[in-house]
Amino acid sequence: MFYGLASGEIDTAELGFEHELQGIQELNERAMRGELEVTAVSIHAYAYLTDRYILLPHGASMGEGYGPRLVSRAPMDRDVIRSCTIAIPGELTSAYLALKLWEPAAETVVMPFDEILEAVRDGQIDVGLIIHEGQLTYADEDLVLLEDLGRWWKEETGLPLPLGGNVIRRDLGAELIPRVSDYLRRSIAFSLDHREQAMDYAMGFARGLDRGTADEFVGMYVNQRTLDYGPDGREAVHLFLQRGVEAGILPGPVQVEFAD
């Protein structure tokens, strides 16, 4: 998404952008402390950030009938899953909210997202909730799919599953917010229009993935939907958080606001 900015192809005049690569749980926690002017966050985490941040109308990662996946070493039915401890990548992640909507009784333990597959494979944990490229590579570890929460959500609601979004801090003000937003939108558009160059850049952060798998993963979560949520994407954000409130997972109603 940010290749256009990182490469200098997008002219930002006197504004400078410092790029920091961190896992989504770390970014969620930093946003909770208000440390970052602009950041990716989980849509789940956004529920706790509305006083300080506003959603940008671009930068979304949406699961179009796919999403975080529950995996284990052997098939098991839902009753057995309910009795297992599930490794999750963080309690502020959208994957965790989707899991609790799917199975409110789920017992969980937090692990770094890139250690969950190995923990399940080695028998340290019974079930893992997999995000990022693990959604494509779990079978390489001889693990089996128990449930795709993005598929479940699509069947349940007819909508894509909202996983991540970009937010901007409100105190940047009415003049700077739309300007920064435009730079970020242009960066995403540039990256989509120059996909091979953007992939060359992204491969530097690919955690050992081969080019084909990395390209497939990027195609899942950086696409035309990333340029604009669309009416159904915005509806999905509202419904996802509303369901979280109704289920008692979120403490109260969430005022979803986009920096249009």
Measured on CA atoms in the order 9, 10, 16, 18, is the torsion positive or negative?
Answer: negative
CA 133 to CA 216: how far, in whole Å? 9
In a domain, 110, yes or no: yes
Please write the tens of the pLDDT for every residue from 200-228. Answer: 999 988 887 899 999 999 999 999 999 99
Please write the tens of the pLDDT for every residue from 151-173. Answer: 999 999 999 999 999 999 999 99
147 and 208 fall within a common domain: no
153 and 231 fall within a common domain: no
The residue out of 123, 157, 191 marking a domain boundary is: 157
Mean of all residue pLDDT scores within the chain = 95
What is residue 65's predicted lDDT score, i.e. its pLDDT? 95
Measured on CA atoms in the order 199, 204, 205, 210, is the torsion positive or negative?
Answer: positive
In a domain, 18, yes or no: yes
In a domain, 258, yes or no: no
151 and 113 fall within a common domain: yes
What is residue 23's predicted lDDT score, i.e. its pLDDT? 87
Helices (H) and strands (E) in the chain, counts: 13, 9
CA 1 to CA 132: how far, in whole Å? 15
Please write the tens of the pLDDT for every residue from 170-200. Answer: 999 999 999 999 999 999 999 999 999 999 9
What is residue 206's predicted lDDT score, i.e. its pLDDT? 80
10 and 123 fall within a common domain: no
74 and 49 fall within a common domain: no
Q: Tell me the percentage of the chain whose pLDDT exceeds 90.
A: 90
Residue 162 near residue 241, CB atoms below 8 Å = no
Please write the tens of the pLDDT for every residue from 12-58. Answer: 999 999 999 898 989 999 999 999 999 999 999 999 999 999 999 99
Amino acid identity, position 106: A
Read off the CATH number of the domain in which 85 is found: 3.40.190.10
What is residue 260's predicted lDDT score, i.e. its pLDDT? 86
13 and 41 fall within a common domain: yes
Please provide residue 123's backbone torsions phi and psi, each rounded to the nearest 5 degrees: 80, 10
Q: Tell me the percentage of the chain whose pLDDT exceeds 70.
A: 100
Residue 118 lies in domain = 69-157
Q: Active-site residues: which are they? A: 132
What is residue 17's predicted lDDT score, i.e. its pLDDT? 95
Q: How many domains does the chain have?
A: 2
The residue out of 118, 134, 157 marking a domain boundary is: 157
